[in-house]
Amino acid sequence: MDRIGLNQARFGPGFISGTIFTGGFNSVTRGHVIDCSMEKSEEQGKSVNECMMKGCDEKAINPCDCGFKICRECYLDCLSSKGGGHCPGCKELILMVIRFAALGLFLAWRIRHPNREAMWLWGMSVTCEVWFAFSWLLDQLPKLCPVNRITDLSVLKDRYESPNLRNPKGRSDLPGIDVFVSTADPEKEPPLVTANTILSILAVDYPVEKLACYLSDDGGALLTFEALAETASFARTWVPFCRKHSIEPRNPEVYFGQKKDFLKNKVRLDFVRERRRVKREYDEFKVRINSLPESIRRRSDAYNAHEELRAKKKQMEMGGNLAEPLKVVKGIWMSDGSHWPGTWSSAEPDHSRGDHAGIIQAMLAPPNSEPVYGSEADAENLIDSTEVDIRLPMLVYVSREKRPGYDHNKKAGAMNALVRTSAIMSNGPFILNLDCDHYIHNSLALREGMCFMLDRGGDRICYVQFPQRFEGIDPSDRYANHNTVFFDVSMRAYDGLQGPMYVGTGCIFRRIALYGFSPPRATEHHGWFGSRKFKLLLRKKAKEPNPEEIALPVGGYEEDNDDLDIESLLLPKRFGNSTSLAASIPVAEYQGRLLQDLQGKGNQGRPAGSLAVPREPLDAATVAEAISVISCFYEDRTEWGKRVGWIYGSVTEDVVTGYRMHNRGWRSIYCVTKKDAFRGTAPINLTDRLHQVLRWATGSVEIFFSKNNALFASRRMKFLQRVAYLNVGLYPFTSMFLIVYCFLPALSLFSGQFIVQSLNVTFLVLLLLVSLSLCMLALLEIKWSGITLHDWWRNEQFWLIGGTSAHPAAVLQGLLKVIAGVDISFTLTSKSATPDDAEDEFADLYIVKWSFLMLPPITIMMINMIAIAVGSARTLYSPFPEWSKLLGGVFFSFWVLCHLYPFAKGLMGRSGRVPTIVYVWSGLLSITISLLWINISPPTGGHQGLRFEFP
C-alpha cells in the first residue's frame, strides 16, 4: 500500500499534517496527541510504525517514557553497555540532568569555599554564576520536547479542490486568506523591494478568488501609491508567466538575479523567448519605479508653478499689490491633476506624516469565480496565455487616517486598521502578515500553512508561524543575523509545548483568534468574549438569515431577545460601531471551521463545498464603510489593542499579541518547509544590528514590567510555555551580571587575586564537567536541529556582544519608561535595495557608524587587554610569581576577547582603518587605569612614589 493509501486506511481522508518528536520528554505523556497522518523522519523516511534506528525496519514500540519509536531489539541493544546504556531519545534529558547536577555541585563548592583574601571578588563572581545558572535553566526547560512537522499537499488538494456531490465543478473549497504587507517610509523601505514582495504574493499558488492582498502605507506617501499602481500593471504579465512555467521563486528581482541554469526542468519551447521578453519588461518596470520620485517632483513643481501663476493673475484682477509676497501652498499632485490627500514634502496641515486623511484604493478588483484564459502573444501580450488563468487577486492600497492628538500605536495600530478594512472588503478567515521586505520564496507556502489549520484539532490553532530566513548576509554571518539558534532550535522546541512565539512576520493567523475569542471546547471562558450569549448575539447581527450557513456553535443555548438587546449595547465597546464589521465576525468564524467529518461533530463543522461560491463584488458603500473603520478615532472606547487585534503598549507588539492568544488557551504551530517559505533582508551593519537588538530587548523589559509578564499567566497556559515567556522578559537583565563578569578577569589581573583562593583539583574538575556538559548539549542541539557549529558559535559571540551593549541600554530605557514615564521611540530599520554591483553586495557591512551602544564593549576590550599586560608584567618581575592566578585571569580574559572578536573586527571597517574614537578611548582608558593602579598599588621597595631618573 502506498503512503497516502496507508494514511487513509489508518485515519481516514483529509489528515494532511504530520508531527514527529525528535528528542526529550514525550509530548504524549503531557497531554499532546499525535493527531496527524504523515508522521515520519525527514532524514530517514520512516513510516509511523517503523523503528527510527538506521538500518532497521522492524515494528516500533514505545518502551521508554521519552516516546522515542524503537523496536524491542534495538532498545535492548541501546540499554546494553555496548549501546551506551540509555535510550537514544533520552540523550538530551540525560545531558540536561548531568549539566544541572554539575552546576549544582559547582555552585555549592563555590559558596562553601570563599576566597578570604578577596571576598569582594568572590562575592561578585558567585552572584553572577548563580544568575547564569538560573537563566540557563529558564532557557533549557522549554527545550525538552523539540518537534519537526511535515505536510502532504496532495491530500489537501484531494480534500478541498476535487469534485464531489456538493461541489460537482470542483471549485476550490479552501478558505480565504488576506495578506497584509506593512510599510511606513519609502525612503528607508525602497518601493522596488515592496513591489517585489507584492508580486510574489499575487503570483502565489493559491486559489485566486480566495486571496486578497492589502498594502498598509503608514507614511501616506504618493510614491508608495504610484509604485503599487505600477506593480499592479506589471503583475498582468508577471503572474501568468509564473503560472505557465512554474517559476520559483516568484519575486522577479530574485528570480532574474539567480546565477543558476534557468533552463533546468523547463521543457516548453517558448520558455526562453518569453523569459527574455518578461526580463526586458521587468527592467523597464524597475526604471519606472526608480524614476517615480523625480517624476512626482517634476509634476508637482509644474502644477505648483501653474497654481502660483493663477494666484498672481487673480491678485492682479482684484487690484492687489504685486509687490506683496504671495503665499502658495506647495502641494504634491497626482497624475490626474488633483492634490494627493496623503503626506506632502512641505508637511502642510492635513498633509503631514501625523496629520492626513485615510485612503483606500483597490488597485486590482476582486476576480471572477471562474478561470479566465488569456490570448496569444501579440503587441500587447508578451506571452502566450491561452492555456493560463490570467486572473489576479484583489490588491488594495490602505493608508489609515492620522490626526494630531491621537496615539496611532505605530505598526500595531496599522495592522489593526488592516484587520478592520479587510473584514469589510474580503473577510478572509485567515490572515498572513509580511514585512515589506519579506517575500514569498515558496509559492506553496500558504498551502503548507493551511494543512495545519484544516487538520484535525486545527480549530484550536491561533496561528502558524514560519521561520524567518534572510538574504544578503555576509557568508561568515559576523553578527549572527540569521538567528539560526533561535529559529531552528528554540522555536522547534516551543512547538512541542503550546506553540512557538509570534515573531512579527511570516505568520498565518486565524481571524477569530485575533478578535479575542477563546478556542473552541475551552474548559472555561474569559469574560464576555467567547461566551455563548455573545455568539448568539453575533448570529443575530449577521447579514445572512440562514443559521445553518453562518451560525456560531452555541450548543443549543438560547437567550431571551430582551437580554440580547441589552448585550448588543456592549458590541460597540468591543469592536466599534461598524455594523458591517460586527456582521463579518460570524461569517469569518464559519468559513474558518473544519469540515464536518474531520471535526467529528456535525453541528460544529461546515459541510464540504460550502466555500465553493463566488465572492460578492465590491461596491461604493462597502469601500465607504472600509474608510470609516480606519479613522483615527474609531478605536476610542473599544477593545482594539487591548484584547482585540494586535496588542498596544510595547515595541514588541508581536510577542505580546502571541502571548495573549496562548494565555487564552490557543496553541500555535511552527511550520518549517523543505524550501524556505519566506525570505527577507536583515541589517548587516554593526550599528543597525545593535539598534535592532536594542528594540527587541527593550520590548522584553516592557513585557516584564507589564501585566503580560508570564508570572501572571492564566491556568490555560502550560507551565513550560510560561517558562518560555518568562525567559523572554528576563533575558535582558542577564546583561547586568554579564558586564560585571566580563570585568572580573581584568580586576583579578589588576589585583593579583582570583575568584578562588587556589586552583585546586576539585574546582578544575567541576569547571571542566560544567563546560563539557554544555558542549555536549550544544552538539546534540546542533544534530537534531540541523544547524552548523559555526552558527552556534556565532550565536554565542553575539550573545555576549549584545549582552554588553544593547541589553543593558534596554534595561535602562525600560526602567525609565516604567519609573519616570519616559516614552521610547525607535527609528525604522532601513531596508537596503538590491545592489547592481556584486562587489558592493556587502558594502554596508564595513561601514562604521558610531553609537553609544559601542562604548561598553570597547571599554571591556581595552581594560582586559591592559589587564593582561599588567598581570603578566607583575608575575614576570615578581620574586614570588603566582602563575596559577595569572593563567586563570588570562584564560577568562581571553574568553571575553574571543567572544568580542566580531565586534572588534566590525570597528576596523573594510581595510582595517580604526575609527578615531577607538584611539581616543584607548588612550584615555590606558592613562586613567595606569594612574589609578599607581595610586592604589604603588611600586614596592621602599619608594613612596614614582621617581624618574634622567642620564
E strands, 591-715, in order: 667-670, 678-681
Biggest alpha carbon distance in the chain? 109
**Cα distances (angstroms) measured from residue 848 to each of 83, 826, 904, 918:** 53, 20, 11, 11
Q: Which residues of 785-816 are buried (b: 16+ CB within 10 A; e: fewer)?
A: bebeeebbebbebbbbbbbbbbbbbbbebbee
C-alpha cell at 550: 453562518
One-letter amino acid identity for 565?
D
The answer to whether 218 is a known ligand-binding residue is yes
Using alpha carbons only, give the angle 935, 923, 901 rounded to the nearest 5 degrees.
110
Phi then psi for residue 866, to 5 deg, are -65, -40
The answer to whether 69 is a known ligand-binding residue is no
Q: Which residue has the cell 589587564?
A: 867
The answer to whether 410 is a known ligand-binding residue is yes
Burial class (CB in 10 A: 0-12, 13-18, 19+), 56: middle
Residues in the chain: 951
Return d(Cα 729, Cα 704) in angstroms, integer. 5
Q: How many alpha carbons fall within 13 Å on the CB side of residue 278? A: 27
Return d(Cα 850, Cα 848) in angstroms, integer. 6
E strands, 714-848, in order: none
Q: How many alpha carbons fall within 13 Å on the CB side of residue 475? A: 0
In the residue annotation, 218 being an active-site residue is answered as: yes
Crossing angle of helices 883-899 and 789-803, rounded to 10°: 100
Return d(Cα 761, Cα 764) in angstroms, integer. 5
Q: Cβ distance 97 to 88 under 8 Å?
A: no
729 Cβ contact list (under 8 Å, min separation 6):
700, 701, 703, 704, 709, 710
CA dihedral 577, 581, 585, 590 (to 10 degrees): 150
Return d(Cα 392, Cα 203) in angstroms, integer. 8
Reference 217, options 423, 439, 437, 397; nearest CA is: 397
Of 173, 217, 459, 654, which residue is the catalytic one?
A: 654
Of 218, 355, 437, 459, which residue is the catalytic one?
A: 218
Question: Taking phi first (over 0 means left), then psi (-120 to 50 degrees means alpha), and beta for anything else, what does residue 85 get?
Answer: left
Phi then psi for residue 615, to 5 deg, are -85, 145
For 163, other C-beta atoms within 10 Å of its C-beta total 12
**Does the CA dihedral 750-752-757-759 come out positive or negative?**
positive
Return d(Cα 242, Cα 256) in angstroms, integer. 12
The answer to whether 674 is a known ligand-binding residue is no
Return d(Cα 936, Cα 604) in angstroms, integer. 78
The answer to whether 584 is a known ligand-binding residue is no
C-alpha cell at 393: 487577486
How much is the CA Rg of the chain, to the nearest whole Å? 31
The answer to whether 823 is a known ligand-binding residue is no
Query: Mapping DSSP to helix (H, G, I), strand (E, B) and coil, where does residue 235 land?
Result: helix
Query: Mapping DSSP to helix (H, G, I), strand (E, B) and coil, where does residue 824 land?
Result: coil
**Pairing verdict, β 359-364 and 394-399:** antiparallel
The answer to whether 885 is a known ligand-binding residue is no
Reference 842, options 485, 483, 479; nearest CA is: 479
**Does the CA dihedral 382-388-394-399 come out positive or negative?**
negative
Return d(Cα 229, Cα 235) in angstroms, integer. 10
- Positions at the binding site for Mn(2+): 411, 435
- Positions at the binding site: 182, 188-189, 218, 410-411, 435
Instruction: Name the residues annotated as catalytic.
Output: 218, 654
- Positions at the binding site for UDP-alpha-D-glucose: 182, 188-189, 218, 410
